[in-house]
Structure 1
Amino acid sequence: MNARTVSPVDDDALAASWHEVMGRYHRLTCALDRALGSAHGLSSSEFDVLEQLYTHDEPKMKMATLAELVHLSQSALSRLVSRLEKDGLLARNVCTTDRRAMWTSLTDAGRRRYEEARPTHRSTLRADVAVCTADAAFTCDGR
């Protein structure tokens, strides 16, 4: 059997692994949404945007770059950033060299909210992800 030929059993195992990974992803996203929402008023996607901006080398980032990093469409990111901007956590500015592009950056309040929410995010990850083994099959124990 060459690398391009896959038996139906292999296809079924591959699909089962995919469903397991996606199920864990969705359960973890829900757990993060609950924990971050109740403690900090943030969704996991909003936290992800704050984290990308907080850890970025520059004080601002183009919206198109941010959309790629957080795996959102530009329109979905624009709506999310509008909410964070309304809450005073982000600022948006038109790029002076390319008026089609927008920059976004954290405000001081956004930095503080990220710093407050980060321990909640990490403890939620630890509680859920710690049961996963690191093998190539992405198998998980106990869930």
Structure 2
Amino acid sequence: MTFQPTPSEDAVRPLDEDEEAIIRSLPHLIYALPRAIDADMTQEQRMSATEYLALMHLSEASDRRLRMGDLSTACEMSLSGTTRVVHRLEKDGFIRRVRCDHDGRSWHAALTDAGLARLEEAWPTNLAAVRRHFLDHLAEMDLKSLAAALQKVAM
């Protein structure tokens, strides 16, 4: 028999109108926002948002390289999905795969100079999409508090 804690009275209190609106909008936000940004990136840059994220994370990494597993975690993708993205970017010359110096079994994805230039070229489109589809809708909000709250939820 598994112990099931009894929910507190506050935990089973019905949602008020604002709480209900937030909870109902979250699934749409979680799926619609990435698709909207991806559509803008694909249309204007012929680059997916996922490819952009991979280049961005590599640009921020030490020596502009990450183990494939670490890149996968940073992009919140499966390892196989990350491998497919890296393969596409490698084919275009934006990333190269190199063996890990410390562990001959592991691979790193390394950002090339061409990849950094491509990231810089795509950055304005990504920024505009993020603003248009998300941040512009939060103009009157306390973004510092919202960011802190979202980080707590994500943990």
User: Does residue 25 of structure 2 align to residue 44 of structure 1?
Assistant: no
Partners of 2:73 and 2:20 lie apart in 1 by 26
Question: Residues 54 and 71 of structure 2 are in contact (CA less than 8 Å); yes or no, is this contact kept in structure 1?
Answer: yes
Matched ranges for 1:24-103 at <5 A: 24-103=29-108
Aligned to 2:27: 22
Q: Measured at CA, do residues 39 and 8 of structure 1 come closer, stay the same or move farther in structure 2, by a change above 3 Å?
A: same
TM-score normalized by the length of structure 2? 0.75
Q: Is the 8 A contact 1:89 1:108 kept in 2?
A: yes
- Secondary structure of 2:137's counterpart equals coil
**Equivalent pair of 2:37/2:133 in contact (CA under 8 Å):** no
8 Å CA contact retained: 1:40, 1:113: no
What is the 5 A alignment of 1:118-129?
118-129=123-134
2:81 aligned counterpart, secondary structure: helix
Gaps in structure 1 of 5+ consecutive residues:
139-143
Equivalent residue number for residue 141 of structure 1: none
Q: What secondary structure is seen at the aligned counterpart in 1 of 2:64?
A: coil
> Separation in 2 of the partners of 1:122 and 1:71?
20
**Number of the residue aligned with 1:7:** 12
How many residues matched?
Answer: 136
Q: Residue 123 of structure 1: CA displacement? A: 0.8
Displacement of 1:32 in angstroms is: 1.3
Q: Distance in 2 between matches of 1:81 and 1:19?
A: 35
Normalising by structure 1, what TM-score?
0.81
Secondary structure at the aligned position of 2:14 is classed as: helix
- The percentage of aligned residue pairs carrying the same residue is 27
Q: Is the 8 A contact 1:90 1:107 kept in 2?
A: yes
Q: Deviations over 1:77-128 (max 9, x none)?
A: 1111111111111000111321221111111221111001001100111112
Question: Would you identify which runs of 4 or more consecutive aligned residues in structure 1 move more than 6 Å?
Answer: 12-15
